[in-house]
């Protein structure tokens, strides 16, 4: 319980800190060095929050499939190389940036006012993603609750199924031998005449497995396309509401509460993964699945294909959550002298090892499913929604005590999703909080609750019968090359305009002076390799960009137009803010551009005693309001 502060004229000398407020800021405590914004209670809170943010659903449902598709164990070579060349350098840069200035992803661009639109773009894209990401968490919640049954509802073709539903493949026709001649016949004719199909000539009927029909007909109640919105699926809406209540409850005190929740949400998925791996490894056919994933099926010649390296770089980039603003936001609550260098390495390595570890748990069970259904592993493996809500549930339904394994799997998906969502919402609240930390810190609870309520309402369209099409549309446009544009401009702006060597000196103020050889690798990456790789990925993404589809369902023209409007709305702030900054500056055009490429007067360490001689000239934004820091919703000065 807080204390009520006494008016200034009633305080006496050193007794001023003795106050009886009821309204004590939940985001800061007496042990914090930054009283305005607060700090992480412990280093473990920060590290687990970062691991939870970086380790998400993609580690479970995307990486194993990419590894299988791109040469198995051989894929680990480009994956590791891209971690060292692109992922880790950008991750370290963003962590250092947020910690140095103790500012969120928009306010941090005091470092380079011309590029402040990059921060706004990051925040808007994160907003779009949080809307649909919690819908995926709602899917996991629905399947979690559905697992509390003796017989899993997707384990067989029940009353909701149609004539195309079948647990096994149904033979349609094949070649057979009749009176010494090879003929092509329907399977019913082959059976009635006691004939045998010739191997390799069997054609199967287009059937759907129970898990696929349950996902489309029951869970989603999926309509025919984006044109047919249909009604709100009430149980998905309730699950969405519950997921937002969980997020709001975990974040109502900001990092002080979420930093404790992640001890469970970040660590327990590893326990579940281990349980699933141990169980999967004891099943028949598990070895076949693992060999398809990373064993003898590995194809080293795949490394000669550019697509493999592109997939490795893209997976690293998105898996580490760089370019979203979340790393800057979470690191901004670190104490100034925290060793952000070691933190970056620990989190990045943990994230990548988790991806590899998850693949063993996934493919061991899929291998068993292939064995039971007498299909090759290549026919049962999948990624994304199809892996999480179709292929893997089908595999789990074939195990003894299947409800238990189903519960564990979807509980793991729930926790993985919540961790990432916590950080995304913290990014948004940090951006709002940075408008005026002294004033808005008192309103952190209503801001968090209000933001969650608004995002819940925006997400309702994603739980209609056409909801999955909206989820896929937002993901297709907003979670793609918009983030790549932000990341490219971020590293170019900091290294080439602000100055890479200058930025290194800023980092050394936090972690201590380092040798030239220590920084040699980081200079090579920041100045050349990482920007080139990011630009290459961006160009490749734009060149291979395709119209959105969901399975075989095409999107209407207006739906694609909405997608383009969303991404344009995200990135258009980059030129708009730059133009406004230049227009508001003084002098001729060249002088204006130059002045906007210099850090603002209030750029530097947040607290005065951390500034030293290098930033002794810095204008304290707490004493003099800095007008170079608009937010997404504020006017641009």
Residue 622 counted as domain residue: no
Which pairing describes strands 549-550 and 553-554: parallel, antiparallel, or unpaired?
Answer: antiparallel
Q: Where are the alpha helices (DSSP H) in 572-619?
A: 573-584, 589-596
pLDDT mean over 520-538: 93
> What is the CATH number for 268?
1.20.1740
Residue 199 counted as domain residue: yes
Residue 36 counted as domain residue: no
| Claim to verify: residue 126 and residue 198 sit in the same structural domain | no
pLDDT at position 35: 84
pLDDT at position 315: 87
Return the structure tokens found at 494: 């900091």
d(CA 92, CA 322): 10
Alpha carbon separation from 391 to 152, 209, 212, 273, 468 (Å, rounded): 14, 9, 8, 17, 18
pLDDT mean over 109-128: 95
High-pLDDT (> 90) share of the chain, %: 54
pLDDT in tens, 580-604: 999 999 989 999 999 999 999 999 9
pLDDT mean over 117-128: 95
pLDDT in tens, 261-293: 999 999 999 999 999 999 989 888 888 888 878
pLDDT at position 631: 37
pLDDT mean over 80-99: 94
| Claim to verify: residue 92 and residue 177 sit in the same structural domain | no
Q: Which of 59-73, 362-376, 490-504 has the highest mean predicted lDDT (pLDDT)?
A: 490-504
Residue with tokens 């169980």: 279
DSSP for 84-137, please give it.
Answer: IIIIHHHHHHHHHHHHHHT--TTGGGGG-GGGHHHHHHHHHHHHHHHHHHHHHH
Overall number of domains in the chain? 2
| Claim to verify: residue 67 and residue 178 sit in the same structural domain | no
Closest by CA position to 270, among listed 360, 390, 388, 137: 360
Q: Which residues pair with 176 in a beta bridge?
A: 183, 197
| Claim to verify: residue 478 and residue 373 sit in the same structural domain | yes
pLDDT mean over 545-556: 89
Residue with tokens 């493999």: 308
SS3 state at 395:
helix
pLDDT at position 351: 93
Q: Which of 99-113, 218-232, 533-547 comes out lowest in average pLDDT? A: 533-547
| Residue 17 annotated as binding site | no
SS3 state at 172:
strand
Give me the phi and psi of 59, to 5 degrees please. -65, -30
Range 44-67 burial, b when 16+ CB lie within 10 A, else e: ebbbbbbbbbbbbbbbbbbbbbbb
| Claim to verify: residue 63 and residue 182 sit in the same structural domain | no
pLDDT in tens, 18-50: 333 334 445 556 677 888 888 898 999 999 999
Residue 595 counted as domain residue: no
Q: Are 341 and 92 in contact (CB under 8 A)?
A: yes
| Claim to verify: residue 186 and residue 312 sit in the same structural domain | no
pLDDT mean over 472-499: 91
SS3 state at 278:
helix
Residue 493: pLDDT band by 50, 70, 90 thresholds? very high
| Residue 319 annotated as binding site | yes
Q: Are 181 and 198 in contact (CB under 8 A)?
A: no
| Residue 55 annotated as binding site | yes
Residue 294: pLDDT band by 50, 70, 90 thresholds? confident
Considering Cα of 137, then 142, then 145, then 148, what sign does the dihedral take?
negative
Q: Which of 80-84, 184-188, 421-425, 556-560 comes out lowest in average pLDDT? A: 184-188
| Residue 54 annotated as binding site | yes
Residue with tokens 């990482």: 530
| Claim to verify: residue 438 and residue 503 sit in the same structural domain | yes
d(CA 551, CA 63): 20
Q: For residue 434, how far is the Cα from the chain centroid?
A: 23
Q: Exposed, middle or buried, 188 (CB in 10 Å: 0-12/13-18/19+)?
A: exposed
Out of 570, 585, 600, a domain closes at: 585
345 vs 68, which has greater pLDDT? 345
CA angle, 255 as apex, 253 and 257 as ends, to 5°? 50
| Residue 454 annotated as binding site | no
pLDDT in tens, 158-178: 888 888 888 877 788 888 888
Residue 621: pLDDT band by 50, 70, 90 thresholds? low
Q: Is pLDDT of 488 > 80? A: yes
CA angle, 505 as apex, 499 and 510 as ends, to 5°? 130
Q: Are 24 and 41 in contact (CB under 8 A)?
A: no
pLDDT in tens, 384-399: 788 889 888 988 888 8
| Claim to verify: residue 49 and residue 96 sit in the same structural domain | yes
| Residue 223 annotated as binding site | no
End-to-end, the C-alpha distance of the chain in Å comes to: 40
Residue 13 counted as domain residue: no
Residue 7 counted as domain residue: no
Residue 472 counted as domain residue: yes
| Claim to verify: residue 56 and residue 142 sit in the same structural domain | yes
Return the structure tokens found at 32: 């914090």
Query: Hey, what long-range contacts does 1-6 have (CB within 8 A, 24 or more apart)?
Result: none
d(CA 55, CA 332): 20
| Residue 243 annotated as binding site | no
| Claim to verify: residue 124 and residue 177 sit in the same structural domain | no
| Claim to verify: residue 335 and residue 443 sit in the same structural domain | yes
Residue 600 counted as domain residue: no
Closest by CA position to 140, among listed 464, 413, 418: 413
| Claim to verify: residue 141 and residue 182 sit in the same structural domain | no
pLDDT at position 8: 38
437 vs 123, which has greater pLDDT? 123
pLDDT in tens, 6-21: 333 333 333 334 333 3
Domain that holds residue 518: 45-159+214-585
Residue 622: pLDDT band by 50, 70, 90 thresholds? low
Return the structure tokens found at 466: 């056409």
DSSP for 493-539, please give it.
Answer: IIIIIIIHHHHHHHHHHHH----HHHHHHHHHIIIIIHHHHHHHHHH
| Tally of CA atoms within 13 A in the half-sphere of 106 that contains its CB | 29
């Amino acid at each position: 319980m807080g204390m009520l502060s006494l008016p200034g004229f009633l305080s006496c000398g050193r007794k001023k800190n003795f106050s009886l407020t009821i309204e004590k800021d939940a985001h800061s405590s007496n042990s914090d060095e930054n009283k305005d914004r607060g700090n992480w209670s412990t280093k473990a809170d920060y590290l687990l929050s970062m691991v939870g943010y970086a380790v998400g659903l993609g580690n479970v449902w995307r990486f194993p499939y990419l590894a299988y598709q791109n040469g198995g164990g051989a894929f680990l070579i480009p994956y590791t190389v891209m971690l060292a060349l692109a992922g880790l350098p950008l991750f370290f840069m963003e962590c250092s940036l947020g910690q140095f200035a103790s500012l969120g992803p928009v306010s941090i661009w005091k470092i380079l006012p011309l590029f402040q639109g990059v921060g706004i773009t990051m925040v808007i894209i994160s907003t779009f993603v949080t809307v649909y990401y919690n819908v995926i968490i709602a899917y996991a919640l629905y399947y979690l609750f559905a697992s509390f049954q003796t017989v899993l509802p997707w384990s067989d073709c029940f009353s909701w199924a149609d004539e195309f539903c079948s647990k096994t493949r149904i033979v349609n026709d094949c070649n057979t031998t009749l009176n010494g001649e090879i003929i092509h016949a329907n399977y019913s004719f082959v059976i009635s005449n006691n004939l045998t199909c010739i191997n390799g000539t069997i054609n199967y009927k287009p059937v759907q497995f129970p898990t696929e029909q349950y996902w489309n007909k029951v869970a989603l109640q999926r309509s025919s396309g984006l044109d047919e919105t249909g009604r709100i699926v009430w149980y998905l809406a309730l699950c969405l509401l519950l997921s937002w209540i969980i997020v709001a409850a975990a974040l109502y005190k900001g990092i002080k509460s979420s930093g404790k929740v992640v001890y469970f949400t970040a660590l327990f998925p590893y326990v579940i993964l281990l349980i699933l791996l141990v169980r999967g490894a004891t099943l028949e056919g598990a070895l076949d699945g693992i060999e398809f994933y990373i064993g003898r099926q590995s194809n080293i010649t795949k490394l000669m294909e550019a697509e493999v390296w592109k997939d490795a770089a893209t997976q690293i980039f998105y898996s580490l959550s760089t370019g979203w603003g979340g790393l800057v936001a979470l690191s901004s609550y670190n104490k100034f002298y925290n060793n952000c260098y070691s933190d970056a390495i620990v989190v990045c390595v943990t994230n990548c090892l988790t991806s590899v570890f998850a693949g063993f748990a996934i493919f061991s069970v899929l291998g068993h499913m292939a064995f039971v259904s007498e299909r090759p592993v290549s026919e049962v493996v999948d990624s994304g929604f199809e892996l999480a809500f179709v292929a893997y549930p089908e595999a789990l339904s074939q195990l003894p005590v299947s409800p238990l394994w189903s519960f564990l799997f979807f509980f793991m998906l729930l926790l993985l999703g919540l961790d990432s969502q916590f950080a995304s919402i913290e990014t948004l609240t940090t951006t709002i909080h940075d408008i005026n930390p002294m004033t808005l810190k008192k309103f952190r609870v209503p801001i968090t609750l209000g933001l969650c309520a608004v995002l819940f309402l925006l997400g309702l369209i994603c739980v209609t019968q056409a909801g999955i099409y909206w989820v896929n549309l937002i993901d297709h446009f907003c979670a793609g090359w918009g983030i790549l544009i932000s990341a490219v401009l971020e590293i170019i702006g900091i290294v080439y305009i602000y100055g890479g060597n200058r930025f290194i000196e800023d980092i050394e103020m936090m972690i201590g002076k380092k040798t030239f050889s220590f920084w040699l690798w980081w200079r090579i990456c920041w100045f050349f390799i990482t920007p080139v790789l990011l630009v290459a990925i961006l160009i490749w993404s734009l060149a291979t960009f395709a119209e959105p589809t969901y399975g075989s369902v095409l999107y209407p023209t207006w739906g694609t137009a909405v997608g383009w409007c969303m991404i344009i709305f995200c990135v258009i702030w980059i030129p708009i803010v730059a133009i406004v900054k230049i227009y508001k500056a003084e002098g001729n055009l060249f002088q204006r551009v130059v002045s906007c490429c210099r850090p603002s007067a209030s750029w530097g360490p947040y607290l005065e005693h951390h500034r030293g001689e290098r930033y002794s000239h810095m204008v304290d934004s707490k004493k003099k309001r800095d007008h170079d820091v608009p937010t997404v919703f504020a006017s641009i000065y």
